[in-house]
Structure 1
Amino acid sequence: MWTVCVLLLCAVHVRAEHFLHEAENPLGYCQGEHECHSHDDKTANHRTYSQTSNVTINTSHSLERFKVSCQKLIEAFPVDEVDGNYVRTVKNCVFSRSLPTPLKAPVTLAAVSKSVIEDILDLDIGVTQTDAFLQYISGAQLIPGSIPLAHRYGGHQFGYWSGQLGDGRAHLLGQYTNRKGEIWELQIKGSGKTPYSRAGDGRAVVRSSVREFLCSEAMQALGIATSRATSLVVSDESVWRDQFYDGNVRKERGAVVVRLARSWFRIGSLEVLTRGGELDLLRKLLNFIIENNFPAIATEDPDKYLVFYSTVVKETAHLIAQWMAVGFAHGVCNTDNFSLLSITIDYGPFGFLESYDPNFVPNTSDDEGRYSIGAQANVGLFNMEKLLESLHPVLTPSQQQQAAVVLKGYAGLYQMRFHQLFKAKLGLLGEEEEDGNLIAFLLKMMEDTGSDFTMTFRQLSEASVQQLHRGGFTQETWALHDLSSHKQFSDWSRMYLLRLGRQEGDDDEDRRQWMKSVNPMYVLRNWMAESATRKAETNDFSEVVLLYDVLGNPFLAQDAAEENGYAARPPLWARRLKVSCSS
């Protein structure tokens, strides 16, 4: 009776036991310990640091020996023949050389990621206290070996082809190969104009930079594939923005984030080449991406482009299902914001669900609700269609037909992963015919009552079978209290308890532990990011640091988080918050 025939809720039947027992990696991706050292003094360029852990990690070298290289990229692809950061149409290349423009005003180191510094970049955390580090991450000086590049790409924005886009305020500093043999691309964002800046100034502001820094690392801790954030720098330089595109231009402070990814190539990287008829360069870029980022695909396989496409379709479907499982809405799912490696990139007007609403739109610039949370799966399908269009010239007629079949399978891949993830969130083992209806029934009740997405699942995780039988939830379990006001809650609860009771050998305490390992207690709600941003505007970075620490362990209850109400009912003022594309 509760089957909902949309991609958001459709049920398919798969086993979830292996997923449920991966308590250390609940969402299927790597996780890391997140710690932060930050400057919270009021005077720019004067550092004080506070360590959050006594764990010692052996790092391989100091900042003096840290180097990056752009050589592999420059040797692989033709580079724009024209130098200079002035805006122009660029053809027959993948990158343009473009130097960052240093900030003119004093800069302050707001926060760094200890796990990125030590686990990815092989540096001792002590280097973050040096002037050289601040110069590098603010764009004032180049890291040794860097030949800064701006990437040329295009994209479909809000469903329409937008032509040449590209890195308009970001510079690729180079690739770093760490002691594990991993290659990471360092990119500095908010570092000034490039040939792709269009009408922009190449800068980023504090509010968007705080959000990207925090959410990049928060998503990593949730087990979701994502770009990473190394550091956040805040400047006294003024940046002018019309935040809500209503003619109210105001002065804001500039900021810079250094972020990392295994690759920054996105669907639009291929689209711009196909649209421009640059097919030799398209093949060259595809071969490079496959060789360097898809080791399971044989470079000599005549079907390698088809296998590549099939892999991206599958991983994209799985990624969006994971977004849904934590209530994450990206906000701008354009093809230029979708990674070919199926990682979450380009954090802008994102939002995490509070009151459950499939029509939740985090981006106030999205008037039509194209990128509502409930539409993300369908938007992913649209983006996979555009990816296939960009691959058509390099596929044989037979491969094109097979790729079309792959595309038709996208919905099933998404539905399967969605079903698997939400079964895990409810602690369901095995497979029963009505599991999909049980999930859909719950979500419909949550929608009707406006129950909080994150805390409803978390409080279900913490409730014993006896408590669920007894009911009578109080304001202490406020999300379940809201949900239980639904007239059919007792019907759902009875179905759920009967389902749990049929799980052979399933201990109630074990079930709760499994559920708590996949249902976070803390996510980066807009009001939390807003509170941290307001303080950061005045050089008080204490809440940025606090949120970074809390969100680094989102499945564990934390005293500091409870004191700040991060798992409590959101404050009333949070309802008035708006987030837009302007940053």
Structure 2
Amino acid sequence: MWRTQKTLLAALMAASFTILTALDFCQSTECQSYDNVPLNAEMSTQTVTSRWKNVSVSNTVQDMDYFRVSCKKLLEVFPVDVVDGNFVRTVKNCIFSKSIPTPLKAPLRLVAVSKDVIEGVLDLDLSVTQSDHFLHFASGGKLPPGSVPLAHRYGGHQFGYWAGQLGDGRAHLLGQYTNRKGETWELQLKGSGKTPYSRSGDGRAVLRSSVREFLCSEAMHFLGIPTSRAASLIISEEQVWRDQFYNGSVKKERGAVVLRLAKSWFRIGSLEILTQSEEINLLRKLLNFIIKEHFSFISSDDPDRYLVFFSTVVNKTAELIALWMSVGFAHGVCNTDNFSLLSITIDYGPFGFMESYNPKFIPNTSDDEGRYSIGAQASVGLFNLEKLLQALGPVLTKKQQHQAKMELEAYNIIYQMRVHQLFRAKLGLLGEEDDDAYCIAFLLKMMEETQSDFTMTFRQLSEVSPKQLHNRDFSQMWALADVSSHDLFPKWIHVYQHRLRRQMNDSDLERQQRMKNVNPRYVLRNWMAESAIRKAENNDFSEVELLHRILSFPFVTQETAEEAGYAARPPQWAQELKVSCSS
């Protein structure tokens, strides 16, 4: 069975598996005092309930004055940088530096907001986002009660090489928020100004990259892929200068801030910097905290807790990348500083959803060697996990290190099994047969050779009737028409339909519905994002709003999306698009 799965992996990778305004800031006492505020991060379920005694439990909160965060848990556990100020410096012996956001200059404008996050995660009524209070809070101009803004210190391997200290160069952690469901989320502003980790940067984010991050993080969530979330996008007329493609063409762009959330922003680089700096006691403290807060099934008394933690991250990382592959998503910059320890998708930069099926698809124009092509993501994941294991080395015994290496050797099999499972579901296959990998690989190879669209080929297979498939009647199905031009397509149809007929008690209607539930009709293609960005640069945010609405229901055929051409053949100009790391 493993041999057939390796055949599938080879088809997926097409290569051998290798390692590879000026706002008055903080004038109110709530910004100046951090110790006399209720700290919701420590609340019990009963406390969370009592906290809402003055508001309607059945409704979301309509006043930002009720909203507060806590940094107490983080500050009680970890030492903080002894030096104050946002000037760039080498930081030692801490996890965070206190860092005050630099508010965007007025006039400010809220141009995008996620109702699902605002109401479903933050317990706020959507109307709150129209207030000046929210506008200032979500752009770095006013801290919520309980906030001690922090910048996280971490390092990382970038494009395969140790890059030293990196850290939050333009992001500020506002604090932790525990909602009425008992979930704890870390709120972070991106593009909120300089920190000690800004290096030569200005601490800002620009409109184009912020639109992309807002849209894609929410789109990925609704595709069912673990990800950070985006609550809002605020822009100003503040000038930000960028050389977008590093070719000497510097131009003025508008600054923007995204309010984003994650259960945790710790990443592989969070541990690497401590091992590299020989801060082993702090390494243990951080690991113990992460395990206690986010891997609660691991006992704090277990002498193998770090080994179990590593094994879990190996499994979840393999699963995350398999999920990326199942929707044709390429992250673009899979550095260790961009790989979450909770195995969620973070730090959206030059990502891209693959259009024509091509394992060598590279979304990042800065990636000259194709290190982070879509077909290399699994092997890069292995490379990053090896760096994680190196970072854990000082806290593992020799025996545990040996066991960890064995866990790492299973990564490839875990990944292949999960990819196999996901692609069987995309084809509507029930159960598991030895020839399933052949059927999947056969289709992918034809798609590659005919340059067929990845998303729409699978989606249209979900929508086509058996009779249409047999007769190759694809007059209204452009992606299937492309792949059916392959000489071997009739043979594949025979193999596929013969497999489907062996599925007892499974109707065509049931199969089609299953397939539609896992094969999206709409993904955030680069041309769609670019179209929205071009309009946004002219103060028209209608397409940003439209895309956000459409991508919140990616598996459902929508009239407005069809009219916009979001399921049609990509326009010719889309082939010339380039996305870089510059943002």
TM-score, normalised on structure 2? 0.91
1:146 corresponding residue in structure 2 = 147
| Equivalent position SS for 1:74 | helix
2:365 corresponding residue in structure 1 = 364
Contact 1:330/1:350, CA 8 A, preserved across alignment: yes
User: Does residue 458 in structure 1 map to residue 459 in structure 2?
Assistant: yes
| Equivalent position SS for 1:78 | coil
Contact 2:8/2:420, CA 8 A, preserved across alignment: no
Deviation string, structure 1 residues 292-341 (Cα, Å, up to 9, x no partner) = 01111111111100000000000000000000000000000000000000
2:317 corresponding residue in structure 1 = 316
2:477 corresponding residue in structure 1 = 477
Supply the AA of the counterpart residue of 1:577.
Answer: L
2:328 corresponding residue in structure 1 = 327
The 2-side partners of 1:57 and 1:110 are apart by 28
Contact 1:2/1:441, CA 8 A, preserved across alignment: no
Contact 1:7/1:378, CA 8 A, preserved across alignment: no
Contact 1:3/1:440, CA 8 A, preserved across alignment: no
Contact 2:389/2:404, CA 8 A, preserved across alignment: yes
Q: Give, in angstroms, the shift of residue 64 of structure 1.
A: 1.1
Contact 1:8/1:374, CA 8 A, preserved across alignment: no
The 2-side partners of 1:484 and 1:523 are apart by 23
The 1-side partners of 2:171 and 2:468 are apart by 52
1:374 corresponding residue in structure 2 = 375
Contact 1:526/1:577, CA 8 A, preserved across alignment: yes
Overall identity of the aligned pairs, in %:
71
The 1-side partners of 2:332 and 2:213 are apart by 13
- Structure-to-structure mapping, 1:1-400, within 5 angstroms: 5=7, 7=9, 9=11, 58-60=59-61, 62-400=63-401
Contact 2:456/2:567, CA 8 A, preserved across alignment: yes
The 2-side partners of 1:2 and 1:448 are apart by 21
1:20 corresponding residue in structure 2 = none
Supply the AA of the counterpart residue of 1:120.
Answer: V
Deviation string, structure 1 residues 418-467 (Cα, Å, up to 9, x no partner) = 00000000000111111001101100000000000000000000011111
The 2-side partners of 1:104 and 1:206 are apart by 14
1:45 corresponding residue in structure 2 = none
Deviation string, structure 1 residues 353-403 (Cα, Å, up to 9, x no partner) = 100000000000000000000000000000000000000100011111110
Alignment: residue pair count = 538
- Structure-to-structure mapping, 1:482-497, within 5 angstroms: 482-497=482-497
| Equivalent position SS for 1:286 | helix
The 2-side partners of 1:228 and 1:4 are apart by 34
Contact 1:218/1:548, CA 8 A, preserved across alignment: yes
User: Does residue 550 in structure 1 map to residue 563 in structure 2?
Assistant: no
| Equivalent position SS for 1:379 | helix
Q: Give, in angstroms, the shift of residue 58 of structure 1.
A: 2.4
Supply the AA of the counterpart residue of 1:415.
Answer: Q
Supply the AA of the counterpart residue of 2:536.
Answer: A
2:535 corresponding residue in structure 1 = 535
Deviation string, structure 1 residues 108-154 (Cα, Å, up to 9, x no partner) = 10011101111111111110111100010011111111110000000
Contact 1:3/1:10, CA 8 A, preserved across alignment: no
Q: Give, in angstroms, the shift of residue 104 of structure 1.
A: 2.1
| Equivalent position SS for 1:223 | coil
2:499 corresponding residue in structure 1 = 499
Supply the AA of the counterpart residue of 1:232.
Answer: L
Contact 1:10/1:436, CA 8 A, preserved across alignment: no
2:468 corresponding residue in structure 1 = 467
Deviation string, structure 1 residues 28-64 (Cα, Å, up to 9, x no partner) = xxxxxxxxxxxxxxxxxxxxxxxxxxxx972256311
Contact 1:7/1:377, CA 8 A, preserved across alignment: no
2:514 corresponding residue in structure 1 = 514
The 1-side partners of 2:445 and 2:427 are apart by 15
The 2-side partners of 1:211 and 1:57 are apart by 34
Contact 2:108/2:234, CA 8 A, preserved across alignment: yes
The 2-side partners of 1:156 and 1:468 are apart by 47
The 2-side partners of 1:536 and 1:146 are apart by 32
The 2-side partners of 1:577 and 1:4 are apart by 34
Moved more, 141-150 or 325-334: 141-150
The 2-side partners of 1:295 and 1:60 are apart by 30
Contact 1:359/1:372, CA 8 A, preserved across alignment: yes
Q: 1:246 to 1:309 in 2, by over 3 A?
A: same
User: Does residue 441 in structure 1 map to residue 425 in structure 2?
Assistant: no
Supply the AA of the counterpart residue of 1:193.
Answer: K
Task: In structure 2, list runs of 5 or more residues that go unmatched.
Answer: 14-56
Deviation string, structure 1 residues 249-308 (Cα, Å, up to 9, x no partner) = 111111110000000000000000000000000000000000001111111111100000
| Equivalent position SS for 1:383 | helix
1:40 corresponding residue in structure 2 = none
Q: 1:456 to 1:57 in 2, by over 3 A?
A: farther
The 1-side partners of 2:459 and 2:432 are apart by 22
The 2-side partners of 1:463 and 1:166 are apart by 49
2:426 corresponding residue in structure 1 = 425
Contact 2:7/2:437, CA 8 A, preserved across alignment: no
The 2-side partners of 1:310 and 1:4 are apart by 22
Q: Which has the higher contact order (CA 8 A, sep 6+)?
A: 1
2:49 corresponding residue in structure 1 = none
| Equivalent position SS for 2:157 | strand
Supply the AA of the counterpart residue of 1:224.
Answer: I
Contact 2:68/2:144, CA 8 A, preserved across alignment: yes
Q: 1:445 to 1:295 in 2, by over 3 A?
A: same
Supply the AA of the counterpart residue of 2:580.
Answer: S
| Equivalent position SS for 1:517 | helix
Q: 1:158 to 1:574 in 2, by over 3 A?
A: same
The 1-side partners of 2:482 and 2:4 are apart by 20
Q: Give, in angstroms, the shift of residue 535 of structure 1.
A: 1.2
The 1-side partners of 2:10 and 2:73 are apart by 41
Supply the AA of the counterpart residue of 2:551.
Answer: L
The 2-side partners of 1:451 and 1:106 are apart by 46
Supply the AA of the counterpart residue of 1:520.
Answer: P
Moved more, 2-11 or 550-559: 2-11
The 2-side partners of 1:207 and 1:152 are apart by 26
Q: Give, in angstroms, the shift of residue 9 of structure 1.
A: 4.0
Contact 2:8/2:437, CA 8 A, preserved across alignment: no
| Equivalent position SS for 1:285 | helix
1:577 corresponding residue in structure 2 = 577
TM-score, normalised on structure 1? 0.91
Task: In structure 1, list runs of 5 or more residues that go unmatched.
Answer: 12-55
Deviation string, structure 1 residues 199-240 (Cα, Å, up to 9, x no partner) = 100000011000000000000000000000000011111110
The 1-side partners of 2:226 and 2:4 are apart by 31
Contact 1:8/1:377, CA 8 A, preserved across alignment: no
Supply the AA of the counterpart residue of 1:562.
Answer: E
Q: Give, in angstroms, the shift of residue 7 of structure 1.
A: 3.8
The 2-side partners of 1:268 and 1:248 are apart by 32
Deviation string, structure 1 residues 473-518 (Cα, Å, up to 9, x no partner) = 22x2000000000010111111001010111111000000000000
The 2-side partners of 1:225 and 1:376 are apart by 16
Q: 1:454 to 1:65 in 2, by over 3 A?
A: same
